[in-house]
Amino acid sequence: APAVAAPADADRPLVIGHRGAAGTAPENTVSAFKDARAAGVDYLEIDVQLSADGVPFLFHDDTPARTTNVAEVFPGRENDPVTSFTWAELQQLDAGAYFGPRFAGERIPHLDDAAKVATVNTGVYIEIKSPRNSPGVEQVVADALAQDKDWSKLLEAGKVTVIGFDEASNRTFAGLAPEVPLQQLTGSVPDAATIERWAGFVDSVGTNYRTLDAEDVARVDAAGLDLGVYTVNSAEAVQHVLDLGVDMVTGDFPVQADRLLDGL
């Protein structure tokens, strides 16, 4: 796969809005994507899963309990896998009201809705979330990127990266779409041998910033991979990861992250 698009200023990491902009709008909704775009960040991040009837939808959790009104619409199904719902059922859920009354009525988006909000300035990080719950999701994402005109445009502009925690799923995706930049997510940076293995099919590593130290950064760098961190939500955390020299910063408040970086 080709290298991830380089930041305009090599000293300035790319800024990525987490779940769109989970700090200012309901996560993984069009409102959050628009907030990220308005903030002018480099990418918005989304989590994709497959409905029971095979439709790619944007949702983080394994169940609909926390961020929807499922208890009202489908009583008793609160803790069912969100992937056990059909697309038509998912569309009956309110995915905004949990965040505040002004977001009531916000729907669970389709994968392609993110591409419609994205631009050649604000691209998309597509996380393949819990792929074991969504068999075949790698092929669905690869097909969308190849066949949908909004996704193809973003891909050509170097503004799409696919990310995921599941190594086997990432390998599958790399085999299906070797031209798409790919990132291995992890809770902490592993030993050099594991990073070398990842370097066989990904361009970058994304880790929790809380566990990160200079030796971790050096090991990722030695493997020729870029390094991203999540979820960075304070000025202190931004300064910490800049001092360590990371390439991408994912946070819930993309406006704030962008301003913090500009001011540093």
Residues that bind Ca ion (CB under 5 A): 47, 127
252 binds ligand G3P (CB under 6 A): no
Q: Which residue has the tokens 């380089």?
A: 6
Judged by CB under 6 A, the residue of 35, 42, 47, 216 near ligand G3P is: 47
Q: What is the CA radius of gyration of the chain?
A: 18
The entry of ligand G3P, Ca ion, none near residue 185 (CB within 5 to 8 angstroms by kind) is ligand G3P
**Amino acid at position 71, single letter:** A
Measured from the CB of residue 63, what is the shortest distance to ligand G3P in angstroms?
14
Measured from the CB of residue 208, what is the shortest distance to Ca ion in angstroms?
12
45 binds ligand G3P (CB under 6 A): yes
CB-based closest residue to Ca ion = 127
CA dihedral (218, 224, 229, 234) positive or negative = positive
Among residues 186 and 219, whose Cβ is nearest to Ca ion?
A: 186
Q: What is the dihedral of CA 23, 26, 29, 32, to 10 degrees?
A: -30
Helix axes 254-263, 30-39, angle to 10 degrees: 10
Distance CA 232, CA 208 (A): 9
226 binds ligand G3P (CB under 6 A): no
18 binds ligand G3P (CB under 6 A): yes
230 binds ligand G3P (CB under 6 A): yes
249 binds ligand G3P (CB under 6 A): no
The footprint of ligand G3P on this chain (CB under 6 A) covers a number of residues equal to 9
Judged by CB under 6 A, the residue of 31, 250, 257, 258 near ligand G3P is: 250
Measured from the CB of residue 209, what is the shortest distance to ligand G3P in angstroms?
11
Among residues 73 and 255, whose Cβ is nearest to ligand G3P?
A: 255
Among residues 47 and 106, whose Cβ is nearest to ligand G3P?
A: 47
42 binds ligand G3P (CB under 6 A): no
Among residues 113 and 127, whose Cβ is nearest to ligand G3P?
A: 127
Q: Which residue has the tokens 């962008």?
A: 258
Judged by CB under 6 A, the residue of 185, 237, 238, 257 near ligand G3P is: 185
**Amino acid at position 104, single letter:** A
Tokens describing residue 167: 């190594």
CB-based closest residue to ligand G3P = 230
Binding site for ligand G3P (CB under 6 A): 18, 45, 47, 60, 127, 185, 206, 230, 250
